[in-house]
Structure 1
């Protein structure tokens, strides 16, 4: 069966991964001081982080219903018999629901998946789904049944110096109680039940490094199969912080002698508009037993 797989910019795909599997891409709209861009199309990471340094307002919007319908129709015209459309959390964007509307209006059999995560977490969920479909040749229905377990096998965490972007863009989720309490407190956040959720808050960035490294190690230490690690940062100065966490994590992880795949990059504009551009994070995926 000729299959097309779509992934959106909220899933933080890498260029290499898109090219490897010949994936199709759906970019969210990004607005910087009122000017519209399409993430990954006319707005790359370098351009975004250059513009955002002096921007007063950044926010996102989803592609229109018509745009999504056009994407589906163009793939059908190319002869694809199956379309799998993978999206970041439906609780953080209306994109998943709009895709469902487009599918219903066209009356076509598009398989739409909600990763229930965002950014690097959604990326690791999407990567495992694509592997099962493309590398292992599993049928969609079998892979779909494993999506809850794939999500369960994924852990992501990140930290930001301010919650103002999460609050402004309505993505604060269960971390709302931290608003106004930060000062010298550093929050470590995750995505749980498809919402931003606080893991802990510590005093000082060095404690945050240790907590994040320990969290990732504890999650992965008993999951030796199909391990993936995704390290990410926003501004250039955040890469130093990202590297601190990663190195502390690897000090423990390497002693396990597990095979792993490493992915690294910058937070996509779609996600940086929600979290704020000054951010760094780490995500890990692993299985106790192969799926």
Structure 2
């Protein structure tokens, strides 16, 4: 008997990384009009952002169906393995619901569906926490119990390069778009408890970086023992200055840099910088 880990593609591990970690990835879809792509399979992040910038209409995304999980769940039931599914925040997608429906169809109690309340580099922090707990000898039920508490502390801070995609996707009003653009405001967004909120507004990049750290300190600051991830949308070079700033402020604890994929990228556009932490 072993533990099988299943995640959806918005955790933004590459196929190779997922294989090395022993994670099964279930992809979401991205649709540019009639063109349909499986996130991270048919379209990789850099190609997606190039297509996004040249597209007149904002692409849409689609969650996996229950059928996408069924074969994996049935196989685990046959072998008597435990399954831990760590999935995109239920407030952002119906992916968790699809997995729950599949679990009901299979009728196997040892499938655990964890609503990460996160996405991308935030989900990766939680997944790696699960592996650390497994190494400590915890069983599936104990791991899931710990994750249900730990996930409340994970937060992604995002600085977007343009308000355009938030406004196009209905995450920002036209009035907010006009004011923000006129004042050259950079919004600092926070993703926590499955919700995307504006943590602050600042003029220019440096102002946004300072605002991000003030917002984090207001929430109790980073748990240094747990480390942090950095992320970017589009070209990696857009992260260079931000990464130097963050590493200078936080010192040790850097884990990895994550290329944010297409499903999340639809809403924030290219040129965004991100920091994911466990808060105190």
| C-alpha contact 1:213 1:245 (8 A) present in aligned 2 | no
Deviation at 1:179, TM superposition (A): 4.7
* Residue in structure 1 matched with residue 114 of structure 2 by the alignment: 113
Does 54-63 or 90-99 show the bigger shift? 54-63
* Residue in structure 2 matched with residue 5 of structure 1 by the alignment: 5
Deviation at 1:83, TM superposition (A): 1.2
Q: Which runs of 5+ in 1 are unaligned?
A: none
| C-alpha contact 1:68 1:99 (8 A) present in aligned 2 | yes
Counterpart secondary structure, 2:40: coil
* 1:102-133 deviation per Cα after TM superposition (whole angstroms, max 9, x unaligned): 11122123110001112221221222123212
CA distance in 1, matches of 2:120, 2:21: 19
CA distance in 2, matches of 1:222, 1:50: 34
Counterpart secondary structure, 2:54: coil
Normalising to structure 2: TM-score of the pair?
0.86
* 1:67-105 deviation per Cα after TM superposition (whole angstroms, max 9, x unaligned): 22233234445x351111110100000110111111112
Normalising to structure 1: TM-score of the pair?
0.83
Deviation at 1:146, TM superposition (A): 1.7
Deviation at 1:56, TM superposition (A): 2.5
Q: 1:136-285, aligned counterparts within 5 Å?
A: 136-169=136-169, 172=171, 178-183=176-181, 184-213=184-213, 215=215, 223-227=223-227, 229-236=228-235, 239-254=236-251, 258=252, 260-285=253-278
Change (3 A) 1:197 1:218: closer
* Residue in structure 1 matched with residue 23 of structure 2 by the alignment: 23
* Residue in structure 1 matched with residue 90 of structure 2 by the alignment: 90
Deviation at 1:46, TM superposition (A): 3.3
| C-alpha contact 1:28 1:61 (8 A) present in aligned 2 | yes
Q: Which runs of 5+ in 2 are unaligned?
A: none
Change (3 A) 1:33 1:198: same
RMSD: 2.6
